[in-house]
Amino acid sequence: MRAVSLRALASVNLAAIERNVTRLRELAGPGTRLCAVVKADAYGHGAVPCARAALRAGAEALAVATAREAVELRSGGVQAPVLVLGALSDEELPQALAAGAEVIAWSLRFVEQVERGADAPVAMHVKLDTGMGRLGTRALEEALAVADRIAAGGPRLALAGAMTHFASADEDPEFVRAQLDEFEPFVARLRRRAPGIVVHCANSAAIINEPATHFGMVRPGIAMYGGDPMNEEPSRHGLEPALALTSYVAAVKLAAPGQSTGYGRRYIARTDTWLATLPIGYADGIRRAMGGNGQVLVGGTRYPIVGAVSMDNVVLEIGAEPSVAVGERATLVGTDGAERLTAEELARRMGTVNYEVLCGISARVPRAYHRDGEPV
């Protein structure tokens, strides 16, 4: 048995993130800024290291969802512009302002809150809801009134941008066009008021599929980490997955016919078969939906997950011969030999998206960083 230092590990290749950002900048085209989305702990990859990697590759700004995420970047020494994309409560707004973050506005009440709370100029982006149906105002005139209020707010407010967000850039180009048809008149009228504003709406899927959406800045998220926003194959777009999730074989035992494994006895051996237990489970981000459905790589071979995924363990069916050994590495996301398990494949097996697979890797799993194999 070889020594194993960690029961589970997420290894993140920062060089892959840098190459993905370079690729996305190429797709965005010259003169278009790139705002790297590092919310949700950089989609499970680690916010501060990934923010630094994106900036090294030419990103000019960062985006998060919450005030706490903006504070985390500042605490980590990141000084680039940070845009908070999400709603801010009365308690959270002071945190965002203290971090020097840029914020999103769609109501006059919020603009007035910012003005009262600001000790320094705050850059604000006005959001028009063109079809996502979440944040932002659907009313063009209200959005323009918010922009006018910001522009008239004196030295503590700065009208910095105009934005919207696409609902289905990964699958419905007609609706993207419909959203653009609503957004473009807003942009035209706002530019007459403030010619220097930055206009942005393109997420990862729109960067790849819809050049007309690029405007002055793009906001890639999943693609920056090497995920395919269409949940298919990243390499089709020149993207490289940055994260590998591994564990190890903690036990190997023979199951006789009629013997079971896991809660609920969802797997019962029909013949003599060897089982391997990995010390990783749903508390680490391996969803219960993978039981009887997922696969894991050991020694370059795919083995099925059998029985119920538990909080701390999963079990693999090895077969009639004990062809894996205690201590061997097990790959749940990543490459082993000629075989590869992508976040997209896991997502399809579970009926979800690669975003959820990556974001679901819990904080209990340590992250380790390298650049093409060299630790950093």
Indicate which residues carry an active-site annotation: 39, 263
Residue 38 to residue 50: CA distance in whole angstroms: 7
Supply the DSSP symbol for 95.
H
**Of 77, 76, 132, 78, which Cα lies nearest the Cα of 104?**
132
Query: b/e string for 200-234 if b means 16 or more Cβ within 10 A?
Result: bbbbbbbbbbbeebbbbbbbbbbbbbbbbbbbeeb
Supply the DSSP symbol for 360.
T
Alpha helix segments (H runs only) across the chain: 14-28, 39-44, 47-56, 67-75, 93-98, 108-117, 140-151, 173-193, 204-209, 343-350, 354-359
- CA angle 75-24-100, nearest 5°? 25
Residue 190 to residue 43: CA distance in whole angstroms: 32
Token couple for 250: 């903690």
What pairs with residue 170 in β-bridges? Answer: none
Q: Are 69 and 39 in contact (CB under 8 A)?
A: yes
